[in-house]
Chain A
């Protein structure tokens, strides 16, 4: 019976995008997003000489050290000085470089927001800001080091692109994609190793949201299953839509599996680009689900859920339950303890989904 349920749930996964086949195994592989970033930076730098790296005394823990070791002449250590980090990068961008700047998200963009605003966004400089150690998963270091405001800080800036990958593989692809654009870009990375959701084959495009899971559709569109295709087009074919970003995507998938097993029809969207927003995909899912849960390791205020709400309030208002940190600072603890305390556990997401369904019009 358990085996049967597993197979059923597995079939709900969007096969078109070739996710990790061991997604729902207990022993799913976990890799740090930072490692994915570090690898992506080296690969991008091998292709493009214009890429330079700057770090504020955190090359090792932001995984910029592989770039530093491979391209010592293109790496600049600015010391513990995050304002300098981004302003020097702005000057290098003005001189034709594509700088990647690495630090913890609480310091960059936390400490140097105005410099990012004026010298990077106002100048439209293609500086790529890498904010590591974002979210509660920082754990033991405590609230001072858990960035829960960075999405809000960055999404409010004109021209800034905001990317929040769901795993290490997506972090690598996002890094390489960022390197090719002229836009100021922020990428948000977790400290903890996170479950590998995607594979090498999974497509990634900045600005595109993806449905990773959908109940009742064993073959996604394009597989010549007319009956199912029609169902997708039909409004309200789902009971609930879950939109998640970052490592919370994995939690969303587990909650979706549970709901699906209970007979609910559910879809999970990985919103890995928070800005520019894939409005079409969100509106389409809103038509289908008519109730959402958003999940993010970030303050509810100004975060990804707010982005979704801004879009839907205008185009297709539906009930939304926000799972995130509710106007509080973090503290020391294990990631699991913190997720439970601040209401981001699997149980909390499950309950939020049920609340959202009850609120459905």
Chain B
């Protein structure tokens, strides 16, 4: 059944594939910056920081079908931290869910691409999100429903992408506790550990460390990875799928605003787009040339 649909996760991650994923991630970052500049509002840092992981998921790992978004046997990806939706939208557009030109409607009236994801406007989404801390519980509910119908053998994987900042929310840990209790082996939580949130560094606003210990205490299998290294991501996802007695969490260390050196690691870029002429030019130059490594069309 699955064979007739795009099914990326059977393929090994070759050097050639890594090169392709790297190129795809660069295109997705371009789209993210273009759409944010056009929208004149939105969240830059997390969206750019998670581009590699989203690229890996949609172009290598997930069982999904852009032509049949509600395909019953698809893996589920729930974006809990809805504010980084530019990366979700851009990745889904590049994967073929909708034309890339639609990305320019981000945050505009009537757009399927609402400022924070809304399933009504874009039914291919697994859920609506924005208010933080509720995505993990929803994913847990999806896994529980799947288990009632199919036991643990449906073959579906359930991914929940969370930000580190939203771990401040009690609801996040309520979901984690239930996932641990129920030993949800098909669940993998991916945490964007970029160490920033809207008003500062996470460890200043509300310390999360020791983060690994916290997740272990909820009976999760915990891995830490470089969220920009495809080999690392691939190894961790495969390890997560091989764990059969508990849910998994992958703490992915990422660089906020990855790809624009001037914006990187600065919490000020959590919730705004490049706005001034100078910021826009910095962003475009960095993103369109991959930090000067490539020529842009405009340079010709």
Contacts and interface: CB of A to CB of B under 8 A. Distances in A.
A94 B140 contact: no
B142 A79 contact: no
Given A52-B148, A84-B178, A91 B140 contact: yes
Interface in A89-126: 89-97, 99, 114-115, 118-119, 122-124
A91 B129 CA distance: 12
A183 to B, nearest CB: 15
A11 interface: no
B171 A94 contact: no
A91 B171 contact: no
Contacts of A52: 145, 148
B127 A123 contact: yes
B125 to A, nearest CB: 9
Contact of B178 (A73, A79, A124): A79
Interface stretch (B130-138, B193-201, B218-226): B130-138
A114 B175 contact: no
A78 interface: yes
A81 B133 CA distance: 13
B174 interface: yes
Nearest to A74: B148
A185 to B, nearest CB: 17
A318 interface: no
A78 B138 CA distance: 13
Contacts of B264: none
Interface string B172-187: 0011011000000000
A84 B120 contact: no
A48 to B, nearest CB: 13
Nearest to A124: B120
Contacts of A119: 127-128, 134, 137-138
Contacts of A78: 174, 178
A88 interface: yes
A59 B126 CA distance: 30
Given A83-B134, A118-B130, A97 B145 contact: yes
B177 A91 contact: no
Contacts of A74: 148
Contacts of A83: 133-134, 137, 170-171, 174
A76 interface: yes
Contacts of B142: 91-92, 94-95
A14 B127 CA distance: 47
For the residues of B in contact with A, the DSSP-based class is helix
Contacts of B148: 52, 73-74, 97
B254 interface: no
B123 to A, nearest CB: 11
B138 A91 contact: yes
Interface residues of B, number: 29
A88 B130 contact: no
B27 interface: no
B141 A88 contact: yes
B200 to A, nearest CB: 24
Given A87-B141, A88-B138, A92-B145, A115 B171 contact: yes
A83 B128 CA distance: 16
A197 to B, nearest CB: 37
Contacts of A122: 118-120, 128
Contact of A94 (B134, B138, B175): B138
Residue among A79, A87, A124 facing the most chain B CB atoms (10 A cut-off): A87
Given A78-B178, A79-B177, A83-B171, A94 B127 contact: yes
B100 interface: no
A122 B117 CA distance: 11
Interface residues of A, number: 28
Nearest to A81: B174
Residue among A91, A95, A115 facing the most chain B CB atoms (10 A cut-off): A91
B144 interface: yes
Interface in B96-149: 118-120, 126-131, 133-134, 137-146, 148
Contacts of A95: 141-142, 145-146
Contacts of B137: 83-84, 87-88, 90-91, 119
A123 B123 CA distance: 10
Interface string A283-305: 00000000000000000000000
Contacts of B118: 122
A95 B187 CA distance: 15
B138 A87 contact: yes
A82 to B, nearest CB: 9
A84 B126 CA distance: 18
A122 B129 CA distance: 9
Nearest to A118: B131
Contacts of A93: 141
Residue among A81, A84, A114, A115 facing the most chain B CB atoms (10 A cut-off): A84
B104 to A, nearest CB: 25
B2 to A, nearest CB: 18
Interface in A50-86: 52, 73-74, 76, 78-79, 81, 83-84
Contacts of B128: 118-119, 122-123
5 tightest A-B contacts by CB? A91-B141, A87-B137, A95-B145, A84-B174, A91-B138
27 contacts: A52-B145, A52-B148, A74-B148, A83-B171, A83-B174, A84-B171, A84-B174, A84-B175, A87-B138, A88-B137, A88-B138, A88-B175, A90-B127, A90-B137, A90-B141, A91-B127, A91-B139, A91-B140, A92-B142, A94-B141, A94-B142, A95-B142, A122-B119, A122-B128, A123-B119, A123-B120, A123-B128
Given A94-B145, A124-B120, 20 more contacts: A52-B148, A73-B148, A78-B174, A79-B174, A79-B178, A84-B175, A87-B141, A87-B171, A88-B137, A90-B127, A91-B78, A91-B138, A91-B140, A91-B142, A95-B146, A114-B131, A115-B131, A118-B131, A119-B127, A123-B119
